[in-house]
Amino acid sequence: MKKTIMAISTALFLGGVASAQKIAFEEYDLDNGMHVILHQDNSAPVVITSVMYHVGSKDENPNKTGFAHFFEHLLFEGTESIKRGEWFNIVTANGGVNNANTSDDRTYYYEVFPSNNLELALWMESERLMHPVINQIGVDTQKQVIKEEKNSRYDNQPYGKIIQAVKENLFINHPYRWTTIGSTEHLNSAKLEDFKAFNEKFYVPNNAVLVIAGDFEPKQTKDWVQKYFGPIKKGAPIKRETFVEKPITETIKATHIDPNIQIPMLVAAYRTPSMKTRDARVLDFISVYLSDGKSSKLYKKIVDDQKKALQIGAVSFNQEDYGMYIIYGLPMTNFTNEDLLKEIDEEIVKIQTNLISERDYQKLLNQFENQYINENSSVEGIAENLAKYYLLHGDVNLINSDIDIYRSVTREEIQAVAKKYLNPNQRLLLDYIPNPEKNEN
């Protein structure tokens, strides 16, 4: 089976390289509102079947967080036709692999099969949507799984709560203020009826996009899509609230104590605009320029040259409503968070004051060209991008044209956007520190 999976992985990569520069696709709607996108690539005998639902942690009740991530797990429990615990057995027995992931904005499920098992994949995903079994034993099982995941990845992991601490200070009104994994207390108190109601509201065909990518025959595939997904009843229209955050005009200062660490961490976080905006793309340029890799300005200056930090870096979260740009650093002995912040601010001011060099600008363009090619170099990557551009951006063809937007960004725009968003009075400064009492002992 390992050989089969490795063969699939190799075919996935090789199958997408030739068409990475121009992605052909066809899209249409079923009568029940489900959007379907087909991308045919017959260069390798592999097919991806994926469904992305427009539901993430931002769609949750503030008193019942973690539901979207919970369903990422729960909907593998079984269906009326797939017995509990059999989902993964069916996939592996037929030479496939599958997985799912959740963000603040969406939930994504996919299967990778040899192309002769496309009908099986479509049937399984339609079963997940039409006939999920949501019962107490499945809920109780997944509650325990989530608790263990939360303990190992967040609660007991050094620096595991950085994102949580940033979110709860950077957002006041928006549901981005809690983490995707949510609250253990909320999951513990949730009733079976709560989970059934969440499923009925969000896991409906008119809140999803089905993407089929790889080696398939279009007419037969469309017939199967209609056969398995067409009969699924359309859900009630989903009414989504709009949450608006007031601009940050004064530095937010906060402290988070992490008992699992010994070295304090500086965290500077900026709230950024929606991923749909041009400014968000310009900020991507700034993020890469400042902090992507060991050749970036911050790493080379603070870690390599000055040796003031053990580590320096950044994470850019591009999201549907707002984004986050988080710069972090671990000071070396004899240096402080304030020392790192001073150096970081100096580099930001340079961008705001002067145009970056033509050489650095060309380097950025090359990096984004390479990133675009890499993201679309596999059929699996293409499938997820097709779903994302439709569901979150409202324009599938951005899979081809988004790179042109990046190419059109100018050095003047980089300077202007840095001035607009990256000022000291527009950010959160988070002191992420060890437990003082523990260190005293």
Q: What does the pLDDT look like over 108-156, one tens digit per residue?
A: 999 999 999 999 999 999 999 999 999 999 999 999 999 999 999 999 9
Confidence (pLDDT) at 294: 85
List C-alpha distances in Å: 117 to 34, 38, 57, 112, 211. 22, 16, 32, 9, 15
CA distances from 7 to 193, 393, 416 (A): 43, 33, 48
Per-residue pLDDT tens digits for 299-315: 999 999 999 999 999 88
Average pLDDT along the chain? 93
Say what the pTM is.
Answer: 0.93
Confidence of residue 438 (pLDDT cuts 50, 70, 90): low
Decide if 431 contacts 255 (C-beta within 8 A).
Answer: yes
Q: Label residue 8 by pLDDT band (50, 70, 90).
A: very low
- According to the model, what pLDDT value does residue 439 have? 52
Structure tokens at 250: 């004064």
Convert the pLDDT of each residue in 367-421 to its tens digit.
999 999 999 999 999 999 999 999 999 999 999 999 999 999 999 999 999 999 9
pLDDT over 90, % of the chain: 91
CB 25 within 8 A of CB 396: yes
What does the radius of gyration of the chain's CA atoms come to, in whole angstroms? 23
Q: Where are the alpha helices (DSSP H) in 171-245?
A: 184-189, 192-202, 218-229
Report how far residue 336's alpha carbon sits from residue 364's, in angstroms, rounded to the nearest whole number. 31
Contact yes or no for 174/321 (Cβ under 8 A)? yes
Q: Which helix (H) or strand (E) holds 212?
A: strand 208-214
Query: What H or E segment, with its residue span, contains residue 123?
Result: helix 118-130
Segment 47-90, tens digit of pLDDT = 999 999 999 999 999 999 999 999 999 999 999 999 999 999 99
State which H helix or E strand residue 315 sits in: strand 309-317
Q: Does the pLDDT value for residue 164 go beyond 90?
A: yes
CA 216 to centroid of chain Cα atoms: 28
N- to C-terminal Cα distance for the chain?
Answer: 52
pLDDT (0 to 100) of residue 21: 66
Q: Which helix (H) or strand (E) holds 36?
A: strand 35-40
Kindly tell me the burial class for residue 159, based on how many C-beta atoms sit within 10 Å of its own C-beta (0-12, 13-18, 19 or more): middle
Least confident of 70-84, 90-104, 288-302: 288-302
Q: Is the pLDDT of residue 3 over 60?
A: no
Q: What is the pLDDT of residue 5?
A: 38
User: Angle at CA 309, nearest 5°, toward 306 and 311?
Assistant: 125
pLDDT higher than 70, residue 9: no
| Predicted local distance difference test score (pLDDT) of residue 10 | 40
Confidence of residue 7 (pLDDT cuts 50, 70, 90): very low
| Integer Cα distance of 20 and 253 in angstroms | 44
Q: Shortest CA distance to 337 belongs to which of 286, 271, 265, 287? A: 265
How many CA atoms are closer than 13 Å to the CA of 140, on its beta-carbon side?
A: 3
Q: Which residue, chain included where needed, has tokens 């260069």? A: 43
35-40 and 208-214 strand pairing: parallel
pLDDT given for residue 292 in this prediction? 85
